[in-house]
């Protein structure tokens, strides 16, 4: 992991504006694809490693990584299943009800979800009587949705896909994209498709990890090869405007450790709300359009590494066991960037059966099923779900167990938190 001197340019065209003025802010080193879990007996280091570098576009302010692993290699077989946490279905139901009330979604209207995963969000629309359609590139999770009765197309969402949807189902009243909009290799084709598929007064609701939240939380672990772009309201608006779309409402929501929820329509169809002007003012006040902000962010990541590694070395010196609590994709970024391997974190435990028996790539921490035995402490890689975990682990904490959270600050929860 390296923080470069100012002025180093990445050899790339900006994913948003096409300019060649993208400056490197942090280089997390060559890393394997975080969701390509490996067999634990695979020879050391043979999994492919790719550059993981974050740049800031001085022209349009889009923060992005430069290296693209082809989408077919990342998204056609996917181990992340939305339904495995309790937090997400409840969040999606609340969001659906809010959208339905605000925009008058009625029985028979079409709701399309981009990157619909196992159908977790679309299932929450049942109350409305709307027709739903998911588009999911990963065959294995698309099948889970289909088996659960959620109509799902197994293909990549892009302009051609949207033309086919419109032909077969008509225009969409609502298009949603949660936790997927930063994944898009075909970024402009996707936005063009959304613009063509939306009904005249249709609304596109996008939830994406908010770059402002990443900066404030030092949540650099959101940087991985699947996440090509990191949005502020300003950079998202710059992208949408190129296709005649406009954000008319914007809020921050407490999901994935801080996300932006933007409501988007054809330019001029709905008045731009105060929420947009308020967020624009906040972003200016907080310097989210300035490269200096990202240089400070990079320095904070270095500081986090120093603190976390020192803490884990202390546990090791005291002969205490530490296991990772879950093996989320972002955990691979944190562990590989900081060089934390099995000597400091002996294993990861998971309830997602698709991950059990494999190992976190790069650092090769083995993933095992959650069962009886407990370590002295867990490293909570999915730190954004810490409240869910604290509630679930009261007995463990009361009995002397500890939960270590790496982000936003290195913090240990123990008996006092039970
Ligand atoms: Zn740009």
The residues pairing with 319 across neighbouring beta strands, listed in sequence order, are none
Instruction: Output the CA 402–ligand 1 centroid distance in Å.
Output: 44
Instruction: Output the CA 235–ligand 1 centroid distance in Å.
Output: 8
Q: What is the pLDDT of residue 394?
A: 97
Helix (H) or strand (E) segment spanning residue 239: helix 233-241
Instruction: Output the CA 188–ligand 1 centroid distance in Å.
Output: 13
Residue 216, classed as helix, strand or coil, is helix
Please say whether the dihedral angle defined by the alpha carbons of residues 257, 137, 363 and 26, taken in this order, is positive or negative: negative
> How would residue 182 be classed by pLDDT, with cut points 50, 70 and 90?
confident
Q: What is the pLDDT of residue 69?
A: 87
pLDDT at 282 over 80: yes
DSSP 362-383: TT--BEEE--S---SEEE-SSG
pLDDT at 258 over 90: no
> How would residue 44 be classed by pLDDT, with cut points 50, 70 and 90?
confident
Residue 300: inside a domain, yes or no? Answer: no
Instruction: Output the CA 346–ligand 1 centroid distance in Å.
Output: 42
Which of 268, 286, 304 is the endpoint of a domain?
286
* 149 and 264 housed in the same domain: yes
Which of 265, 286, 307 is the endpoint of a domain?
286
The percentage of residues in the chain with a pLDDT greater than 70, rounded to a whole number, is: 96
Instruction: Output the CA 239–ligand 1 centroid distance in Å.
Output: 9
pLDDT at 272 over 90: yes
* 26 and 141 housed in the same domain: no
Give the lowest-confidence range in 86-100, 166-180, 299-313, 327-341: 86-100
Residue 68: inside a domain, yes or no? Answer: no
Instruction: Output the CA 58–ligand 1 centroid distance in Å.
Output: 7
Number of residues that make up the chain = 418
Q: How many domains does the chain have?
A: 2
* 132 and 281 housed in the same domain: yes
Instruction: Output the CA 408–ligand 1 centroid distance in Å.
Output: 28
User: What's the pLDDT tens digit per position in 183-196?
Assistant: 888 999 999 999 99
Which of 231, 262, 286 is the endpoint of a domain?
286
Residue 14: inside a domain, yes or no? Answer: yes
Instruction: Output the CA 62–ligand 1 centroid distance in Å.
Output: 5
* 117 and 254 housed in the same domain: yes
* 232 and 366 housed in the same domain: no
Q: What is the pLDDT of residue 80?
A: 59
Q: How far is CA 22 from CA 17, 415, 418, in A?
A: 10, 47, 47
Average pLDDT value over all residues in the chain: 94
pLDDT at 23 over 90: yes
Give the lowest-confidence range in 43-47, 179-183, 230-234, 326-330: 179-183
Residue 304: inside a domain, yes or no? Answer: no
Instruction: Output the CA 60–ligand 1 centroid distance in Å.
Output: 4
d(Cα 225, Cα 313) in Å, to the nearest integer? Answer: 28
Instruction: Output the CA 19–ligand 1 centroid distance in Å.
Output: 5
Q: What is the pLDDT of residue 384?
A: 87
Instruction: Output the CA 231–ligand 1 centroid distance in Å.
Output: 12
* 381 and 349 housed in the same domain: yes
* 124 and 267 housed in the same domain: yes
* 117 and 235 housed in the same domain: yes
Residue 299: inside a domain, yes or no? Answer: no
The residues pairing with 379 across neighbouring beta strands, listed in sequence order, are 324, 404
The percentage of residues in the chain with a pLDDT greater than 90, rounded to a whole number, is: 85
Domain extent, residue 104, equals 82-286
Instruction: Output the CA 137–ligand 1 centroid distance in Å.
Output: 27
Residue 121: inside a domain, yes or no? Answer: yes
Tell me the two tokens of residue 315.
Answer: 């546990």
What CATH number did the domain enclosing 179 receive?
3.40.50.150
Q: What is the pLDDT of residue 345?
A: 98
* 49 and 129 housed in the same domain: no
Give the lowest-confidence range in 69-73, 140-144, 188-192, 203-207: 69-73
The residues pairing with 198 across neighbouring beta strands, listed in sequence order, are 172
Residue 72: inside a domain, yes or no? Answer: no
Residue 297: inside a domain, yes or no? Answer: no
* 21 and 94 housed in the same domain: no
Question: Which backbone phi and psi does 383 adopt, to 5 degrees?
Answer: -60, -20
Instruction: Output the CA 9–ligand 1 centroid distance in Å.
Output: 13
Instruction: Output the CA 61–ligand 1 centroid distance in Å.
Output: 6
Locate all alpha helices (DSSP H) within 265-393, ordered by sequence: 274-285, 291-317, 329-338, 386-392
What CATH number did the domain enclosing 27 receive?
3.40.50.720
* 156 and 210 housed in the same domain: yes
pLDDT at 78 over 70: no
* 22 and 102 housed in the same domain: no
Residue 85, classed as helix, strand or coil, is coil
């Amino acid at each position: 992991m390296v923080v470069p001197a100012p002025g180093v340019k990445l050899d790339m065209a900006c994913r948003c504006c096409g300019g060649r003025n993208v400056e490197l802010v942090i280089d997390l080193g060559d890393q394997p694809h975080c969701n390509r879990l490996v067999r634990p007996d695979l020879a050391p280091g043979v999994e492919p490693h790719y550059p993981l570098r974050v740049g800031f576009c001085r022209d349009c302010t889009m923060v992005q990584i430069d290296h693209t692993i082809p989408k077919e290699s990342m998204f056609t077989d996917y181990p992340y299943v939305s339904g495995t946490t309790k937090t997400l279905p409840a969040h999606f139901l609340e969001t659906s009800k809010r959208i339905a009330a605000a925009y008058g979604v009625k029985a028979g209207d079409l709701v399309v979800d981009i990157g619909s995963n196992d159908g977790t969000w679309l299932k929450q629309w049942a109350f409305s009587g709307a027709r739903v359609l998911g588009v999911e590139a990963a065959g294995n999770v698309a099948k889970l949705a289909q088996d659960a009765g959620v109509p799902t197309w197994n293909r990549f969402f892009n302009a051609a896909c949207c033309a086919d949807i419109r032909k077969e189902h008509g225009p969409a009243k609502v298009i949603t994209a949660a936790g997927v909009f930063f994944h898009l290799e075909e970024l402009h084709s996707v936005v063009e498709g959304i613009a063509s598929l939306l009904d005249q007064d249709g609304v596109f609701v996008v939830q994406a990890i908010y770059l402002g939240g990443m900066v404030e939380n030092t949540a650099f672990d959101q940087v991985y090869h699947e996440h090509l772009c990191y949005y502020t309201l300003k950079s998202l608006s710059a992208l949408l405007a190129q296709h005649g779309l406009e954000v008319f409402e914007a809020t921050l929501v407490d999901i994935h450790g801080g996300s932006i929820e933007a409501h988007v329509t054809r330019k001029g169809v709905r008045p731009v709300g105060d929420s947009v002007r308020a967020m624009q003012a906040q972003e200016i006040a907080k310097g989210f359009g300035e490269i200096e902000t990202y240089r400070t962010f990079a320095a904070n990541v270095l500081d986090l590494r120093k603190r976390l590694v020192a803490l884990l070395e202390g546990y090791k010196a005291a002969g205490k066991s530490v296991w990772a609590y879950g093996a989320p994709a972002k955990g691979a970024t944190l562990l590989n960037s900081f060089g934390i391997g099995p000597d400091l974190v002996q294993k990861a435990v998971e309830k997602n059966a698709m991950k059990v028996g494999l190992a976190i790539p790069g650092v090769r921490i083995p993933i095992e099923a959650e069962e009886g035995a407990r370590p002295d402490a867990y490293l909570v890689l999915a730190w954004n779900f810490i409240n869910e975990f604290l509630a679930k682990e009261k007995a463990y904490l009361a009995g002397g167990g500890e939960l270590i959270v790496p982000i936003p600050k290195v913090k240990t929860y123990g008996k006092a938190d039970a």
